[in-house]
Amino acid sequence: MTTAGQVLDALGARHAEAPLPAPAPRPRAPAPQTAASVSPALRAAVPSGVWPAGLLASAAWLGLGLLTLLWPNKSAGFSDWAFTEEFGIATLAVAALLFALGLLGTRAGRLSHALRPAGQWLVALAVVFAVWEAATAKLGVLPSPFFAPPQSLIDVVHEDWQRLGLSTAYSLRLLANGFVLGALAGFLTGVSIGWSRIAGYWVHPLLRFLGPVPASALLPLAFFFAPSSYVAAVFLVGLATFFPVAVLTWSGVASVHKSYYDVARTLGASERFLVLRVAIPAALPQVFVGLFMGLGASFSVLITAEMMGVKAGLGWYLQWAQGWAAYANMYAALFVMAALCSGLITLLFKVRDRVLSWQKGTVKW
């Protein structure tokens, strides 16, 4: 008689002898597109290494140069706009440079690599300058002296570069002092509110009540109580930076997941370690958001404070140029302000990328 064990042994042997089913074939990923797989028509349309946007930008700047040099300026009560010929020659030089970079493409090195993402912007910039030049110097649609052509900015830099440069240096000093002090005070306040219940109980209501008040609204009080106009301006710039940094730092510390603290406490972490090594690093992305917001707010307050009471700086330069009807100087100061603010924001982005390099891939802004 066959036992149950013998039957199971026989079934196992038969299963072992049976061949295993072949695995189903996996779908193959499409092969990467190489130079050999690109259609010959496409390769013939765009030569290898050529930068088409650079060539288009070169044509746009060439048109701007020809417009500036060949189209006579319209008389506006004086002889002519200075530096018109120099501006036209400079645009032709830019066109020649872009043409060379467009032909060389990737073989041009770092300069081509840096300018390639801005190819369409280079075209748009030439178009904007052409419209500006035609509407002011050539047609006079925008009347002088309220509107000046692009070459007038060269005249301002040539004639008044010392006063403009000194005003920029004064504004940078005032902005640095106010921004650093305000950011430091806001960071410490935000950490204390987010970590301590006592600080949150007493400081949070004051922050919500006084924080939304614009710093420029306190301008008369600041100039009355401060020992000097410079100290008052530093206080206002710092106050404009303080509120966004404090609020977003507080939000970042308060939103740290409790499991991080539990794990650190299990490993024997102290309260100081929890604040310095857990709460603050986790809140740094939101801290940098507050710094960006504070930089924009502080820059606007900086110009207002300089126009009201400070005797130097870009805000003072704007008021001085307006008082003398030197509108070209005013436009030059506006361009310097835009370049200064953009450069500071770019620098802050670099600092953020370096500080938060350990969070690369998680920070999306």
Rounded distance between C-alpha atoms, residue 158 and residue 16, angstroms: 93
Q: Which of 147, 174, 198 is at the close of a domain?
A: 147
pLDDT(70) > 90: yes
- Average pLDDT in the 37-63 region? 71
pLDDT(242) > 90: yes
Residue 201 shares a structural domain with residue 314 = yes
The pLDDT score that the predictor gives to residue 18 is: 46
The pLDDT score that the predictor gives to residue 140 is: 86
- 24-33, 57-66, 101-110, 202-211: range with lowest mean pLDDT: 24-33
Residue 89 shares a structural domain with residue 229 = no
Q: Which residue is listed with tokens 């003398």?
A: 324
Rounded distance between C-alpha atoms, residue 238 and residue 329, angstroms: 28
Rounded distance between C-alpha atoms, residue 4 and residue 8, angstroms: 6
- Average pLDDT in the 93-117 region? 87
Rounded distance between C-alpha atoms, residue 11 and residue 118, angstroms: 72
pLDDT(51) > 80: yes
Read off the pLDDT band of 35 (50, 70, 90).
very low
Q: Domain limits at 216?
A: 154-355
The pLDDT score that the predictor gives to residue 365 is: 54
Would residue 363 count as lying in a domain? Answer: no
- Average pLDDT in the 234-262 region? 90
For residue 290, the domain's CATH number is 1.10.3720.10
Buried-exposed string 134-146: b where 16+ CB fall within 10 A, e elsewhere: bebbbeeeeebee
Residue 134 shares a structural domain with residue 271 = no
pLDDT(2) > 50: no
The pLDDT score that the predictor gives to residue 323 is: 84
Using the 8-state DSSP alphabet, how is residue 279 labeled?
I
The pLDDT score that the predictor gives to residue 150 is: 92
- Average pLDDT in the 331-351 region? 92
Residue 202 shares a structural domain with residue 338 = yes
The pLDDT score that the predictor gives to residue 8 is: 37
- Average pLDDT in the 61-83 region? 85
Within the chain, how many helices (H) and strands (E) appear?
15, 0
Would residue 58 count as lying in a domain? Answer: yes
CB 23 within 8 A of CB 56: no
CB 225 within 8 A of CB 249: no
pLDDT(121) > 90: yes
Residue 55 shares a structural domain with residue 203 = no
Q: Which of 106, 125, 147 is at the close of a domain?
A: 147
Rounded distance between C-alpha atoms, residue 231 and residue 321, angstroms: 25
Altogether, the residues listed in the chain come to a count of 365
What is the domain count for the chain? 2
**Coil, strand or helix at 148:** coil
- Average pLDDT in the 292-317 region? 86
pLDDT(37) > 70: no
pLDDT(67) > 50: yes
Radius of gyration (Cα) for the chain, nearest Å?
32
Selection from 332, 24, 4, 306 nearest residue 175 by Cα: 306
Residue 225 shares a structural domain with residue 345 = yes
Rounded distance between C-alpha atoms, residue 340 and residue 334, angstroms: 10
Highest-confidence range of 12-16, 146-150, 286-290, by mean pLDDT? Answer: 286-290
Residue 161 shares a structural domain with residue 285 = yes
Residue 50 shares a structural domain with residue 115 = yes
Selection from 228, 219, 220, 226 nearest residue 300 by Cα: 219
Would residue 36 count as lying in a domain? Answer: no
Residue 177 shares a structural domain with residue 204 = yes
Burial of residue 41 (number of CB atoms within 10 Å: 0-12, 13-18, 19+): exposed
CB 153 within 8 A of CB 328: yes
Selection from 319, 321, 322, 327 nearest residue 303 by Cα: 319
pLDDT(5) > 50: no
The pLDDT score that the predictor gives to residue 43 is: 44
Residue 117 shares a structural domain with residue 265 = no
Residue 264 shares a structural domain with residue 313 = yes
Q: Which of 116, 132, 147 is at the close of a domain?
A: 147
Q: What is the pLDDT of residues 125-173, one digit of tens each?
A: 999 999 999 999 998 888 877 888 999 999 899 988 999 999 999 999 9
CA distances from 45 to 39, 42, 117 (A): 10, 5, 21
Burial of residue 48 (number of CB atoms within 10 Å: 0-12, 13-18, 19+): exposed
Rounded distance between C-alpha atoms, residue 117 and residue 120, angstroms: 8
Q: What is the pTM of this model?
A: 0.76
Residue 337 shares a structural domain with residue 230 = yes
